[in-house]
Amino acid sequence: MRLGHPSGLDSNLISAHFKFGANANELPSPPHDEPDVSIGVLLRVNQALCLEIAMKACLNHCGNLLTCCFASCLLIAGCHISQAHGQTFFPGCESPGTLVARSANVPPVGDLKLRASRLEESTAGVFCLTVTLDAPGNFLIWVGDDPRWGQHVRAGGFEFMASFRPEWLQDGASISVSRTGAPYELTTHPERLKLPESLRRRLADVPWDKQQIMSIRRVSRDFAGTLRRFVVVVITGPTFCTIAMNNTCVIQIGRKEYTGWAEGPTLRCEMTEEEFLALEDGAPVRVNWGYGALRSGGAGKSFARLDKSMIVDGK
């Protein structure tokens, strides 16, 4: 397998990786004229790319040795952890195991020519979702409202795989794909995900970091004698968001992202009243680690839908 390495790194690429998610557009897919490549090999390729990016960033952008070492460590960590929930590129999916669900292989659907999906449970306890397309590219793979980054896993064909933790699965969820450059333009398979009864019972007992929207308040603030109205959304804070992580946690509502501020066990964001009115009622709400997480496949799982009727006047 020939390795294609990114070259000509600039500040835009470096800042993208500092957002704790390698941009799928910067990572190579296996050449189409070569034999099939295992997930384990692809994982090692991604590790090599992470190391190279960190080294070049250090040489090209750091003047202080201590700063350089710290920044390089962040880059390497960012390549291997999820922006929200600790997902590496393929944790546990190096050798997918038991078949859980499979869709029919249908004629190509939509602009991305989605044909089929296959869900397997690995021995590591994560779920590996593979989709078959008739088109090359860099893709996100969605279960319902929640996407993961899809890695090209079969040379000579267009199979892409993403790993999902158990709590991300929902019986009856749609299976969709989108390009990383247009993440909200989804192509959806006509069949819904159908989980076996035994798995549904298991998933009902899975403990996870449950979150909810606690309040939505309309507030007024004085700016140089002019009152302006804002909306404050308060949610139960995920365990990875603490006061020390302020400016890092992002609350995403629909397609809009807002800086999250930790206050004890809660996380809040603010927006103008006009911004709030423009949000779609019922839009999914999630918490990400850094801006742009969804596009790079590292967004957190959506945990609620925006209910605008919750808004009250407050301080």
Looking at every residue in the chain, the average pLDDT score rounds to 76
- Tens of pLDDT, residue by residue over 164-206, are 988 899 999 999 999 999 999 999 999 999 999 999 998 888 7
Same domain, 104 and 189: yes
Of 160, 181, 204, the position where a domain reaches its end is: 204
Taking every pair of Cα atoms in the chain, the longest distance, rounded to a whole number of angstroms, is 69
- Determine phi and psi for 282, rounding to 5 degrees: 90, 5
The answer to the question of residue 4 being in a domain is no
The answer to the question of residue 309 being in a domain is yes
Same domain, 219 and 304: yes
Share of the chain above pLDDT 70, in %: 66
Task: Please state the domain count of the chain.
Answer: 3
Same domain, 187 and 226: no
Same domain, 114 and 192: yes
The answer to the question of residue 92 being in a domain is no
Structural domain span for residue 123: 98-204
> What is the mean predicted confidence (pLDDT) over 120-139?
91
Same domain, 147 and 52: no
| 277 pLDDT higher than 70 | yes
Same domain, 221 and 198: no
Q: Are strands 311-313 and 213-223 parallel, antiparallel or unpaired?
A: parallel
> What is the mean predicted confidence (pLDDT) over 115-140?
92
Global pTM exceeds 0.85: no
Same domain, 110 and 193: yes
The answer to the question of residue 178 being in a domain is yes
Same domain, 126 and 148: yes
**What is the SS3 string spanning the chain?**
CCCCCCCCCCHHHHHHHHCCCCCHHHCCCCCCCCCCCCHHHHHHHHHHHHHHHHHHHHHHHCCCHHHHHHHHHHHHHHHHCCCCCCCCCCCCCCCCCEEEEECCCCCCECCCCEEEEEEEECCCCCEEEEEEECCCCCEEEEECCEEEEEEECCCCCCEEEEEECHHHCCCCCCEEEEECCEEEEEEECCCCCCCCHHHHHHHHCCCCCCCCEEEEEEEEEEECCEEEEEEEEEEECCCCCCHHHCCCEEEEECCEEEECEEECCEEEEEEEHHHHHHCCCCCEEEEEECCCCCCCCCCCCCCEECCHHHEEECC
* Residue-level pLDDT at 73: 55
| 150 pLDDT higher than 60 | yes
Same domain, 244 and 174: no
Same domain, 196 and 222: no
Q: Which of 19-23, 45-49, 146-150, 261-265 has the lowest mean pLDDT?
A: 19-23
The answer to the question of residue 76 being in a domain is yes
The answer to the question of residue 1 being in a domain is no
The CATH number of the domain where 289 resides is what?
A: 2.60.40
The answer to the question of residue 91 being in a domain is no
* Residue-level pLDDT at 238: 75
The answer to the question of residue 6 being in a domain is no
Of 137, 170, 204, the position where a domain reaches its end is: 204
Same domain, 192 and 161: yes
> What is the mean predicted confidence (pLDDT) over 55-62?
46
Same domain, 108 and 184: yes
* Residue-level pLDDT at 88: 42
Of 170, 204, 238, the position where a domain reaches its end is: 204
